[in-house]
Amino acid sequence: DIQMTQSPSTLSASVGDRVTITCRASQSIGYWLAWYQVKPGIAPKLLINKASSLESGVPSRFSGSGSGTEFTLTISSLQPDDFATYFCQQYNSNLWTFGQGTKVEIK
């Protein structure tokens, strides 16, 4: 299995902050990586696919980068609606795996 490791597991930040979350793969996955936003009671939201391609309707303050084994999700200016848990997912192999999640909390 390809293991996905996210860091940090928890992040405390303020509205307006620039936030970066890292996801590392245990082997190269090319650019086959997605990022999701998960909130309680709400359907998870796909933010980014193919490492850096923003899904339709997702605010431009979200961006993704990376390839191979190291990837980042950046929120350029954190908004109140962005406090949530974020997961990465690799889809390089036929066994889809997710990171353990990064919870973005209000500082």
Partner 1 sequence: QVQLQESGPGLVKPSDTLSLNCTVSGYSISTGYYWGWIRRPPGKGLEWIGSVHHSGGTYYNPSLESRVSMSIDASKNQFSLKLTSVTAADTALYYCARERRDFDYWGRGTLVTVS
- Summarize as ranges the residues that interact with partner 1 (CB under 8 A): 32, 34, 36, 38, 41-46, 49, 55, 87, 89, 91, 94-101
| Length, in residues, of the chain | 107
Distance CA 95, CA 72 (A): 21
Distance CA 28, CA 92 (A): 9
Which of 62, 87 has the CB closer to partner 1? 87
Q: How far apart are the first and last CA of the chain?
A: 35
Q: How far is the CB of 38 from partner 1 (least distance, A)?
A: 8
Distance CA 26, CA 5 (A): 8
CA-closest candidate to residue 99, choices 35, 39, 53: 35
Which of 14, 94 has the CB closer to partner 1? 94
Q: How far is the CB of 4 from partner 1 (least distance, A)?
A: 9
Which of 1, 70 has the CB closer to partner 1? 1
Q: How far is the CB of 70 from partner 1 (least distance, A)?
A: 19
Q: How far is the CB of 87 from partner 1 (least distance, A)?
A: 6
Which of 69, 100 has the CB closer to partner 1? 100
Burial of 94 (0-12, 13-18, 19+ CB in 10 A): exposed
